[in-house]
């Protein structure tokens, strides 16, 4: 993206373009006066656990495994038999 000049309007707003419409941005004012806008996502409290350990690592390992493991059809009879054997132990 080429640098451009933007003028802050009387209401204190600037336009950053349609491609950013609806996005959530974090605004930081740096010590030297520069402003830094960083796109962020909002995570619901009920899903925050996915970002902490050990859950985060387990999810990452699972995603890595599924990305390199081809899907295959499950033999449901064998799966039920295995579950039944475990239950009867």
pLDDT, averaged per 10 consecutive residues of the chain (89 residues), comes to 89 92 95 95 94 96 96 93 87
pLDDT of residue 72: 92
Total number of domains in the chain:
1
Q: Is residue 23 part of a domain?
A: yes
pLDDT of residue 53: 96
Is the preceding omega at residue 54 within 30 degrees of 0, hence cis?
A: yes
Q: Is residue 89 part of a domain?
A: no
Helix (H) or strand (E) holding 37: strand 35-40
Between CA 4 and CA 9 the distance in angstroms is: 16
> The dihedral of CA 15, 19, 22, 25: what is its sign?
negative
Q: Is residue 34 part of a domain?
A: yes
Range of the domain at 44: 17-57
Between CA 6 and CA 30 the distance in angstroms is: 18
């Amino acid at each position: 993206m080429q640098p451009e000049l933007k003028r802050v309007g009387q209401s204190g707003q600037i336009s950053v373009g349609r491609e950013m419409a609806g996005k959530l941005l974090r605004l930081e004012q740096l010590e030297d006066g520069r402003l830094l806008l960083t796109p962020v996502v909002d995570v619901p409290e009920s899903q925050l656990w996915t970002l902490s350990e050990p859950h985060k690592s387990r999810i990452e390992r699972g995603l890595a495994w599924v990305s390199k493991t081809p899907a295959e059809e499950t033999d449901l009879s064998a799966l039920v038999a295995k579950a039944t054997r475990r239950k009867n132990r």
